[in-house]
Amino acid sequence: MTERSAMTTPARTGLPPGAEALLADGSTVSIRPVVPADRPQVLALHAERMSEASRRLRFLGTSRRAPELTADRLCGPPRPERCALGAWAAGVLVGEADFEAAAGRPDTAELALAVADAWQHRGVGSLLVEHLVHAARERGVTAFEADALAGNGAVHRLFSDLGLPVHRRYAQGEVRIRVPLDEPDPDERYLRAVEQRGRTADLASLAALLRPRSVAVLGASRRTGSVGQSVLRKIRDGGFRGELWAVNPHADRIAGLPAYPSVEALPRIPELAVLAVPAAAVPDAAEECGRAGVRALAVLTSGLDAGQAGRLLRGCREHSMRLLGPNSLGLAQTDPLVRLDAEFGGAFPLPGTAGVAVQSGGVGIALLERLAWLGIGVSTFVSLGDKYDVSADDLLQWWEGDGRTDLALLHLESFGSPRAFARTARRVTRRFPVLTVDAGRSPAGRRGAAAHTAAAAVPVSTRTALFEQAGITATRSVAELVETAALLHAQPLPGARGAVAVVSNAAGIGVLTADACADAGLSLPALPGGLTARLRRVLPDGAGTGNPVDTTPAAGPDELRHCLDLLERSGAVDALVVCLVPTALTPDPEREPLRALLDGRGRRRLPIAVVRIDQQVPVRYLTAGDGGRVPCYADPGSAASALARARERARLLARPPAPEALLRGCDPAAARRLVDGFLAERPDGGWLDPARTADLLECYRLPQPPAVWTSEEHTAVLAARSLRRLGHGGRAVLAAHRPGEPAGDPGRAVATDHEARDAFRELTATAGARAAGAVVRPAVGPGVDLHVDVRQDGVFGPLVVLGLGGPAGELLDEPVARLAPLTRDDPPAMVADSPAAPLLADLPDPTALHRVLVGASRMATDLPQLTEARLGPVVVRPEGVLCTGSRIRVEPRRPFDPYLRRLRRRPLPGEGR
């Protein structure tokens, strides 16, 4: 590729300095801008770490001075049209990539790339180019161009695999490559390609943690009952298939195993080190492990202060070690080829196919006990602890590809990168159910979660939006989590309608179950006449054949089975709930339960749940000899809520994955110029004035009435006279504007010049010295008042919120929210879920409101500086939709790309949340 120079300061790249990321082999590099002090490293990269053959490919020929000239140019004075990034591994520069805007063509940049020989084919080049794509887009660069030799297969593969369109032109052994960066249609392909590279790197890095071939326990003491010795014994007694060592400088043997004074003294380098040492010793122990070549740490120690935590994390990143914890209960891998039980909870989890990840060790112990009692086995159990590194996103990707997991159970109190987590979960939930406990719903719960995890408290609507968009099944407690898992793990999904038939041998419990199903949002349709006639023929005299179906206590297993067969074959319902009550006629209704509940193959086409209000446990399985299992609940509400959540999953799978919603005709470049111009005038940010607000809405095709902003009384009167002709009832509205304050004054309606003059004088007199005039617009006719808000969450990023406006909204509003960017399915779902849905049911063109939601989403996504916006009232009428009285606040803020590959940076103890 062509030899060129590039350089920029960290602020010019739009990237956080020292953004660490994983390579294809699981090792860690730091991506940061090249600065003048890096000249020796840049020179060494090109002169010493690249062979003559690599330099020939890099510079399209040979030149002894090429490395020195490149170092001079890359590390020269900064220039705004240049950007250069380097990849550092353990402080050594192993690759660099740079671009420079072409003379006279600021939207096109020449790209150059170099990777040390020892680091080629490990993903360094792809990672650097991804970060350059991010930086280029932030600068308005719309295409990369590069020259490469025809025989440079590695570079051609890099561009082909990038996920962006690539155009090539051949001439005399060289290839001119052009890569457009601004085409919207291929963008999803690019994100998928980035995700795939990220998945490959993530799985490679996690193998040492979740499938280690050797383990060392540091801090295993001779004291019986200590955490270190307990974990060491559990690994040994659990039948770990790999090599196991204890590290303790004060003992020769611990729990019957040889002990070594240090990691360096071990016979071989362990892949995983479990740390159970005091908090003050954790950073040094981690550094020792890193120097020795350990690939993963599980830190069980709690109570690290900010300095200790920072040293621990820096050591892990510098030495390419994945970190579980600190404050972790440990982990367990039940794969028979591994059998690792490195946790200090209860018994070794029952082997199975449920992946479990928890943030709280106590919740993890309780969850494992309930799953074991129920008979649901675990593929992998991971206690995330304080989540400095390994998170639920990592575990979802691991379970997606481990070939063993078909159900994921999560307990999360905080989120690292919610949008990346949502994107991963949206993909994984298409393969198997992902369930979570919705922890921190109350203000007190959110405060407790924030104190426990050092993460920002997350509003309920925000977290709900994340779960809904990701397709995650959220429950309210560990008990509900297990009850729902019991159904999803053993039964097929119901139909999307959610129509249920309740069958009971006691009418009273059938009525209670019917009420519980209705409360859960399920329906109990009346059964067709032909079906009820057939039911009467197979059930005892006196049976009720409506819905619920009352079989009477006289019905035996055969009658019950025939009843269920008829209901299943009828197509009238999507699920069956069977309520069994012991009576004198049937003292043991479980004598032949499976013969009655299941068909001859040990299963049914429809999901079936049993209710036994006399049983002592919340949920258990009725098990057949051929492996068929039916969940049996002690409470009708538990069975109903489990079926309702299964119905929601069925609806999710019935919908094809939705792409990002597109907005034709918008002008994000003009929007960025407008915001940049405002921030140039007001570096601290603030509320946009009415004219800029209107211009910004116009950039995103957001409909608004015509308006005039004026500080002169005469002009206000003339504007009102002109706009009255467009207004409802021949009226105009005057609202005061105060610089630096949000709009929102509902204003005064006027029908004459005299009223307009009086209104202007009153508004300006009331505002006093703060007044800057008035905004005049035509009066808008009656309709449904809504508000569409954009909120910037410190953890989740931008959210789009839809709520009911007006006085009713203040009393009844339960707004719905979605993370931006919205998908094509989100706007209609938001409208359907909002309290205004009944009022909007008869709109002739519901897509007009959908376009407003998409416009707000695009505006929030394109403009990270947009910190707060309210489009409202948004008046929805049969004639269309209008955004009136909108107000927008912007502040200086660095752009954040949630899909840029990098290891997340969690707040450490004592840092701001």
Q: For 176-195, how does the pLDDT look when each residue is reduced to its tens digit (9 = 90+)?
A: 999 999 765 447 788 889 99
Residue 727 CA to residue 700 CA, distance in Å, equals 24
At position 748, the amino acid (one-letter code) is R
pLDDT mean over 272-280: 97
pLDDT over 60 at 16, yes or no:
no
Q: Does residue 205 fall inside a structural domain?
A: yes
Identify residue 905 by its one-letter amino acid code: R
Cβ-contact 39, 5 below 8 angstroms: no
CA–CA gap between residue 150 and residue 171 (Å, rounded): 9
Query: Using CA atoms, how far apart are residues 502 and 404, in angstroms rounded to an integer?
Result: 35
Average pLDDT taken over every residue of the chain: 88
Domain boundary among 779, 797, 820: 779
Q: Which residue has the tokens 């009692």?
A: 373
Task: State how far the Cα of 517 lies from the Cα of 872, in Å rounded to an integer.
Answer: 38
pLDDT of the residue at 738: 76
Q: Maximum CA pair distance of the chain?
A: 101
Q: How many residues does the chain have?
A: 913
Residues 627 and 507 grouped into a single domain: yes
Proportion of the chain above pLDDT 70, given as a percent: 89
Query: Which of 855, 797, 896, 834 has its CA nearest to residue 422?
Result: 797
Domain termination site, one of 464, 490, 516: 490
Which position has the higher pLDDT, 448 or 519? 519
Question: Which CATH number covers residue 413?
Answer: 3.40.50.261
* Cα 528 to chain centroid, rounded: 44
Question: Measured between alpha carbons, how far is residue 505 from residues 98, 213, 560, 585, 632 in Å?
Answer: 75, 56, 9, 11, 15
Choice among 221-235, 321-335, 809-823 with the minimum mean pLDDT? 809-823
Given a contact cutoff of 8 angstroms between Cβ atoms, the answer to whether 848 and 883 are in contact is: no
* pLDDT above 80: residue 625: no
Specify the pairing of strand 378-383 against strand 351-358.
parallel
Do 738 and 637 sit in the same domain of this protein? Answer: no
Same domain flag for 483 and 501? no
Q: Is the confidence at residue 306, as pLDDT, over 70? A: yes
Over residues 306-330, the mean pLDDT reads 96
Q: Specify if 161 maps to a domain.
A: yes
- 638 has a pLDDT exceeding 70: yes
- Residues of the chain by 3-state class (helix, strand, coil), percent to 5: 40, 25, 40
pLDDT at 885: 82
Q: What is the pTM of this model?
A: 0.87
Last residue of a domain, one of 344, 359, 391: 344
Q: Contact, 821 vs 465, CB < 8 A?
A: no
DSSP letter string, 676-738: HHHHHH-TT-EEPPHHHHHHHHHHTT------EEES-HHHHHHHHHHHHTTSGGG-EEEEE--
- Region 693-701: mean pLDDT is 95
Q: Which helix (H) or strand (E) holds 490?
A: helix 478-490
Most confident range (mean pLDDT) of 338-342, 466-470, 787-791, 841-845 is 338-342
pLDDT, residue 155, reads: 93
Helix (H, G, I), strand (E, B) or coil at 610: strand
The mean per-residue pLDDT over the stretch 26-49 comes to: 95
79 and 101 inside one domain: yes
| Strand ranges inside 759-796, DSSP E | 774-778, 784-793
Q: What is the distance between the alpha carbons of residues 263 and 910, in angstroms, rounded to a whole number?
A: 31
Q: Is the peptide bond before 821 cis (omega within 30 degrees of 0)?
A: yes
More confident residue, 275 or 590: 275
For residues 369 and 362, give the distance between their C-alpha atoms in angstroms, rounded to a whole number.
11
Is the predicted pLDDT of residue 335 greater than 60, yes or no?
yes
Is 683 in the same domain as 766?
no
Domain count of the chain?
6
Residue 661 placed within a domain: no
Q: Contact 856/790 with Cβ under 8 angstroms?
A: yes
Task: State percent of the chain over pLDDT 90.
Answer: 67
Structure confidence at residue 17 (pLDDT): 54
Whole-number pLDDT of residue 912: 43
Regarding whether 255 and 178 lie in a shared domain, the answer is no
CATH of residue 731? 3.30.1490
pLDDT score recorded for residue 584: 53
Q: Tell me what pLDDT residue 224 has.
A: 87
Same domain, residue pair 335 and 359: no
Task: Compute the chain's Rg from CA coordinates.
Answer: 32
Chain segment 236-258, per-residue pLDDT in tens:
999 999 999 999 999 999 999 99
What's the pLDDT at 171? 82
pLDDT tens digits, one per residue of 117-150: 999 999 999 999 999 998 898 888 999 999 999 9
Can you give the residue range of the structural domain that contains 588? 492-654
Distances (CA, A) of 447 to 443, 452, 455, 814, 913: 6, 9, 10, 22, 12
In terms of Cα–Cα distance, which of 354, 356, 353 is closest to 383? 356
CA distance 315 to 802: 45
pLDDT tens for each residue of 517-546: 999 999 999 999 999 999 999 999 999 999
